[in-house]
Chain A
Amino acid sequence: MTDNLRAPSPDAALSVYLDNGARVLIAVEHPVTLKDRIRVGVNEDDFPQHSGRYNLGQLVAALRYAQQLQGGGLNLRGEVTLCFGIRDEKGDRALAIRIGDSRTVLIVDPVVGGDE
């Protein structure tokens, strides 16, 4: 992991640099959610090692679980922290979704071929 690699502030960036130095050009900001800063970009280079492949439906389901858990007991304004699990024997990484600042974590298993 290139800890010394720094990217511009996401608030003002026209491109986003990945951990491996590859660049994602920001093509458009989603018109509906412009204020919320979802952007669409084009990836120019290889994916970094630090990544994982996941089923879209499962990711959405996990996030909806997180919403419900927050609504029930953790009033933390709908925030989660995302980080990866350690690589398994097959090179895949689980995605950890930490709910707010609690210690409750949702884990989304990767689909095969997550890294490299």
Chain B
Amino acid sequence: MTNLPPLATSPRGTMRLDNGTRVMLAASARENTIGLGVVAGPPSKVASHYQIDLLIDALEMARDLSGDPPETVKVMFSAASDDDRRCLILCVENTDTAMIVAPCRPAYRTDGDEEEEEHDNDERKESPRLKRYRYIGPEDRVSPCKWHLNPDAIDRYCREGICPGHIDGKCPLYGSGDDTGVFDFAKDFFEVVDDARVEEGDDD
């Protein structure tokens, strides 16, 4: 296990993606640099899918190039290709060098022989596999994880659309028994949610 910054319990309210989709921020990490939340609504069209391993490899290559601190990278997308995928460009600070991560086609959106229709709008077509993994939330069927959410506050969380619910009968924020410390935050970060938008810089 690597040294991960622990997620704290300070709520940060909400933020919005560039398509207006709201993300309920439930917790932020030390120094307010990493937040954890639940997105409610369609994904942004200016987005693409990537393998985590590839992203980490590329970032570590960029870190090797960046040398002394500050280790900062500029992140941007390429233009969309004909099949609506975008490369991710990681430009190393103060250089012209860029790491380019090719996108992947998400495995969970195709299922063997099934033909996925083009998703011209923001609503995705669901394959059986996607449906199985799909988030089950208040708009579908409320199934809060009572192991990790405050039972007294479940109604509120469901009403506000931030309850993670169950996926395949398990809490996506907990796991299936072989949990590690990283999941401990789940039982705390839903304690308080401030619905007001938090202005950046308040925590500096």
Q: Which residues of chain A have a CB within 8 Å of any CB of chain B? A: 1-3, 5-11, 13, 16-19, 21, 24, 26, 30, 33, 36-44, 47-48, 50-86, 88-90, 92-96, 98-109, 111
A39 touching B63, Cβ below 8 Å: no
Which chain B residue shows the least CB distance to A93? B18
Give the residue name and chain of the A residue nearest to B175 (CB): A72
Residue-wise interface mask of B (17-57) relative to A, using a CB-CB cutoff of 8 A (1 in contact, 0 not):
11110010100110011111111100110111111111111
**Contact: B15 with A38, CB < 8 Å?**
no
| B153: interface (CB < 8 Å) | no
Interface size class of B (residues with CB under 8 A): 35 or more
Given contacts A79-B49, A82-B88, A105-B37, contact A7 B74 (CB under 8 A): no
Query: Shortest CB–CB separation between residue B112 and chain A, in angstroms?
Result: 15
A56 to B172, CA, bound (A): 26
Q: Which residues of A contact B16 (CB under 8 A)?
A: 85-86
Would you call A50 and B46 a contact (CB within 8 A)? yes
Instruction: From known contacts A65-B4, A84-B44, A102-B135, infer whether A109 and B78 are also in contact, taking CB-CB under 8 Å.
Output: no
11 contacts between A and B (CB under 8 A): A24-B78, A24-B89, A30-B61, A36-B53, A43-B89, A55-B72, A66-B52, A75-B133, A81-B47, A81-B48, A104-B37
Which chain A residues lie closer than 8 Å to B55 at the CB level?
59, 63, 80
Chain B 72-86: CB-based contact to A (< 8 A → 1; otherwise 0): 111111111111011
**Contact, CB under 8 Å: A101 / B108:** yes
Decide if the interface of chain B is mainly helix, strand, loop or mixed: mixed
Which of A40, A84, A107 is B100 in contact with, Cβ under 8 Å?
A40
**Min C-beta distance of A36 to chain B, whole Å:** 5
Which 5 interchain pairs have the tightest Cβ spacing? A72-B175, A83-B47, A107-B35, A37-B102, A51-B76
B positions within 8 Å CB-CB of A: 2, 4-5, 7, 15-20, 23, 25, 28-29, 32-40, 43-44, 46-63, 66, 70-83, 85-89, 91, 93, 96-104, 106-109, 130, 133-135, 137, 164, 167-168, 170-176, 178-180, 182-183, 199-201
Q: Given the complex, which residues of B lie within 8 Å of A62, measured CB to CB? A: 34
If the complex has contacts A39-B99, A74-B133, are A16 and B54 also in contact, measured as CB distance less than 8 A?
A: no
Of B33, B36, B88, B171, which contacts A109 at CB under 8 A? B33
Q: Kindly count the residue-residue contacts between A and B in the assembled complex, taking CB atoms under 8 Å apart.
A: 324
Contact of A38 among B18, B70, B100, B134 (CB under 8 A): B100
Q: How far is the CB of B18 from chain A (nearest CB, A)?
A: 5
Q: Are A83 and B81 in contact (CB under 8 A)?
A: no
Q: Give the residue of B97, B101, B130 whose beta carbon is less than 8 angstroms from that of A101.
A: B130
Q: Are A24 and B75 in contact (CB under 8 A)?
A: no
B66 surroundings in chain A (CB, below 8 A): 56
Q: How far is the CB of A76 from chain B (nearest CB, A)?
A: 5
CB–CB B101/A37 < 8 A: yes
Query: Given A7-B80, A16-B89, does the pair A56, B17 have CB atoms closer than 8 Å?
Result: no
